[in-house]
Amino acid sequence: MRLKTFRMGGIHPDDNKISASAAVEVLPLPAVAYISMAQHLGAPATPIVQKGDKVLVGQVIAEPSGFVSAPVHSPYSGTVKAVEPRADFAGNMVTHVVIDVEGDEWLPQIDRTPEIKTEITASREEILEKIKNAGIVGLGGAAFPTHIKLSPPKDKTAECLIINGTECEPYLTSDDRIMQEEPVQIVTGARIMMKALGVPKCYIGIEENKPAAIESMKKAAADYSGIEVVVLKKKYPQGGEKQLIDAIIHRRVPSMGLPIDTGAVVQNVGTALAVYEAVQKNKPLIDNIFTVTGKCVPQQKNFDVRVGTTFRQIIEAAGGIPENAAKFVSGGPMMGKAIVNLDASTVKASAALLVLTEEETLRKKESNCIRCGKCADACPMGLQPFLLSRLARAGGRQEELEQEKVFDCIECGCCLYTCPANIPLLDVIRPAKAEVIKIMRSRPKK
């Protein structure tokens, strides 16, 4: 049988899932933890604790400060040491709540028993309230507050839920592990979100290179006729919302449109697990499953990491910093971001620490465009990367860049990956896109 996939563009990089067989281990608690207030897309949260306060695991330490915002809960028990600006992984100064960790005392209302609760008793309103209060954000990358995504505007109708279990980024394996280790919880989380959205259908998309996850998720979903596991052909960037919707329900998100325009709401498998824990176990989002990987890393691991642990502590637990480490990446090699500060801490949506050697990061010398068109063939958004990069490099061509829909670029890196002339297409296109979006947003609304 031919497997489904998205129709336009895409590439097939080596998947390098070298940590796939490592079962999830709980990372020991740090002595001091650093909780960033910028945990999600939108406005950072506002701290409500101060130096000297005692906190318990699960206690709210920061409140949302806008519509697109979410509360932050303490992943630790202990004493607040400071509320101060600290550098995040990219070197940007962000307010953090610093906690001296003392023991591991949880709020009593959080259910820590191993019982798996599959019966959903909460009403739609209660579900949304619990998800909002638990600070759940999308764990597929964008960290958009989940309760907002589960409340489509009145003029849009949700028809189905799509659970993203593709994990198409090379190296990453945390989603694969949770699908193998906690499939019933994920399926229950999906059922909770179906109830919140009022949709009868849920698709769980998983790429063909995860046979154990496919099997366990099919088994967990077998009793629910509205839930279908869809095995997808391995192709990057299948995990992009627009690509996944196209692959599974064959509808295209319009240019400048949103997934809900197709009737679909997409959520990641990690988010489904967090929703289960929030609604069925009263547990806020304080930890996530995190991959430490790279061919030079002594022990590739999948850890259950509490938010606020430093990247340095995580790599130490995986055998230490390799001598030949040249680059640290938060996320995967295609869409991850370079880490300039290993003493920065993880946030809710942190998924991986990838360590690369100099040899692996070396960029080949750029030459002239040979007009082969490979970048356009690979672009999953139907753009012409060679043209976008030429306009961007020329400078002052924002109008043409807008006409060429630079704003539709999902920054997947497929163009850069395929270019035989080694032109850093995405590096050139990304700032041009930001500039065009800024201009578009500054225009008065009609």
Name the site residues for ligand SF4 (rule: CB under 6 A).
Answer: 369-375, 378-379, 381, 383, 385-386, 409-415, 418-421, 423, 425-426, 429
Residue closer to ligand SF4, measured from CB, 47 or 424? 424
Distance of closest approach, residue 433 Cβ to ligand SF4, in angstroms: 8
Tokens of 263: 């009737």
Residue closer to ligand SF4, measured from CB, 196 or 412? 412
Residue closer to ligand SF4, measured from CB, 340 or 370? 370
- Check if the beta carbon of residue 19 is closer than 8 Å to that of residue 292: yes
Distance of closest approach, residue 331 Cβ to ligand SF4, in angstroms: 15
Distance of closest approach, residue 411 Cβ to ligand SF4, in angstroms: 5
Give the whole-angstrom CA distance, residue 36 versus residue 314.
17
Tokens of 101: 């960790």
Of 204, 160, 208, the C-alpha closest to 183 is 204
Distance of closest approach, residue 436 Cβ to ligand SF4, in angstroms: 13
CB atoms within 10 A of CB 441: 8
- Check if the beta carbon of residue 268 is closer than 8 Å to that of residue 152: no
Give the whole-angstrom CA distance, residue 142 versus residue 139.
7
Distance of closest approach, residue 121 Cβ to ligand SF4, in angstroms: 43
Strand partners, 207: 232
Residue closer to ligand SF4, measured from CB, 193 or 412? 412
Distance of closest approach, residue 24 Cβ to ligand SF4, in angstroms: 31
Residue closer to ligand SF4, measured from CB, 31 or 370? 370
Give the whole-angstrom CA distance, residue 132 versus residue 146.
7
Of 263, 261, 199, the C-alpha closest to 228 is 199
Residue closer to ligand SF4, measured from CB, 351 or 375? 375
Residue closer to ligand SF4, measured from CB, 132 or 433? 433
User: If DSSP codes are grouped into helix, strand and coil, which group holds residue 371?
Assistant: coil
Distance of closest approach, residue 424 Cβ to ligand SF4, in angstroms: 10
Distance of closest approach, residue 382 Cβ to ligand SF4, in angstroms: 8
User: CA 258 from chain center: how many Å?
Assistant: 17
Residue closer to ligand SF4, measured from CB, 120 or 387? 387
Q: What ranges in 222-331 are assigned the alpha helix state H? A: 241-249, 269-281, 311-317
Residue closer to ligand SF4, measured from CB, 274 or 412? 412
What single letter denotes the amino acid at residue 436?
A: V
Going along 51-200, which residue ranges are E strands?
54-55, 60-63, 72-73, 78-87, 93-101, 160-165
Give the per-residue SS3 of 136-159: CECCCCCCCEHHHHCCCCCCCCCC
What single letter denotes the amino acid at residue 218?
A: K
- Check if the beta carbon of residue 266 is closer than 8 Å to that of residue 245: yes
Distance of closest approach, residue 387 Cβ to ligand SF4, in angstroms: 9
Distance of closest approach, residue 140 Cβ to ligand SF4, in angstroms: 17
Distance spanning both ends of the chain, measured CA to CA: 49
Distance of closest approach, residue 237 Cβ to ligand SF4, in angstroms: 7
Tokens of 120: 């959903």
Taking each helix axis from N to C end, the angle separating 124-133 and 269-281, rounded to the nearest 10 degrees, works out to 110
Distance of closest approach, residue 420 Cβ to ligand SF4, in angstroms: 6
Strand partners, 160: 201, 264
Residue closer to ligand SF4, measured from CB, 224 or 407? 407
Residue closer to ligand SF4, measured from CB, 76 or 236? 236
Tokens of 51: 């130096």
Give the whole-angstrom CA distance, residue 284 versus residue 287.
9
Residue closer to ligand SF4, measured from CB, 279 or 414? 414
Give the whole-angstrom CA distance, residue 331 versus residue 32.
24
